[in-house]
Amino acid sequence: MLFYAQRGWLRFSYRSRKGDRFTCNNCGKQYDAFAPRYPSAADKNALEQFEVVAGYGENVYCPWCMCTSRERLMIAIFSTKIPVAGKRILHLSPEPFLFRFLHKQASVISTDLVPGFYKQIDPHIQYADATQLPFPTHSFDMVIGNHIMEHIPDDRRAMQEVYRVLKPGGIAVLQAPFSERIPITREEPTINDPQKQSAWFGQKDHVRIYSLTDYLERLKAAGFQVNYWSYDSLKEYYRYAIQPGEGFIHLLKV
Ligand SMILES: [Zn+2]
């Protein structure tokens, strides 16, 4: 119910901000500003100190449908540079708008460690541990895990698993929050209670802050051919109010 109450309030309070600066590629509505999303007081310090690109800031939620900037980036890329029609896709921890977008045109299987959280998005969601995916090698044309690696203690193993279940020529999308300010990923396995994780990593269920360069290195080590499409190279998508600073990580299994 909270979702509908929030959405009702946003629709109402943004009714005077209709305009053509931003277009939502989920619902098609246009506004001069989208709604902001700010981190909690507990999360804020780490995010600011390391300038983490983590999905906060101005123009995050579409005031009409509440689609987020990170989903709009995916929808933009999958509508242009990486077509998804007819593909066999594994969607890890599916996000509502992205899942519906994919489901309309592709064959999508979704999984999560806690599938109950996602039943309303996909009633057929299956249990799976990303470090031990219950699928044969070479099963999928695409694997999408949008902002999941920062939650997984053994992220290298999860990357290898994603690589394994992809078909040769397949593409993985594993966007994650990152900092371009730090050369080394900030992680410490002994920090494993929510309060400390907020203070250290900027979210109570994150286990690290990735250094962007290190994140790309880990993905290469898992076997991927890695291409980073910087935010500056994504200008054609700025009108969808994508997250400033977030580039697209193109991961190919050759
Ligand atoms: Zn929208």
Going from the Cα of 64 to the center of ligand 1, the distance in angstroms, rounded, reads 5
The whole-number pLDDT of residue 3 equals 87
Q: What is the pLDDT of residues 17-52, one digit of tens each?
A: 999 999 999 999 999 999 999 999 999 999 999 999
Going from the Cα of 26 to the center of ligand 1, the distance in angstroms, rounded, reads 5
Residues that place a CB less than 5 A from ion ligand 1: 24, 26-27, 62, 64-65, 67
What are the residue boundaries of the structural domains of the chain, listed by start?
A: 2-252
d(CA 202, CA 39): 8
Going from the Cα of 31 to the center of ligand 1, the distance in angstroms, rounded, reads 10
Q: What is the pLDDT of residues 216-225, one digit of tens each?
A: 999 999 999 9
Going from the Cα of 243 to the center of ligand 1, the distance in angstroms, rounded, reads 15
Going from the Cα of 15 to the center of ligand 1, the distance in angstroms, rounded, reads 13
What DSSP designation does 132 have?
A: B
d(CA 47, CA 40): 10
Quick count: other Cβ atoms within 10 Å of Cβ 226? 18
**pLDDT for 165 beyond 70:** yes
- Kindly report the backbone phi and psi dihedral angles of residue 168, in degrees, each rounded to the nearest multiple of 5, phi listed first: -55, 135
Mean pLDDT in residue range 89-118: 97
Q: What is the pLDDT of residues 169-222, one digit of tens each?
A: 999 999 999 999 999 999 999 998 999 999 999 999 999 999 999 999 999 999
Mean pLDDT in residue range 47-74: 96
Average pLDDT, the chain: 97
Q: Homologous superfamily of 2-252 in CATH?
A: Vaccinia Virus protein VP39 (3.40.50.150)
Written as six digits, the tokens of 216 are 């790309």
Going from the Cα of 70 to the center of ligand 1, the distance in angstroms, rounded, reads 13
The whole-number pLDDT of residue 191 equals 93
Going from the Cα of 187 to the center of ligand 1, the distance in angstroms, rounded, reads 35
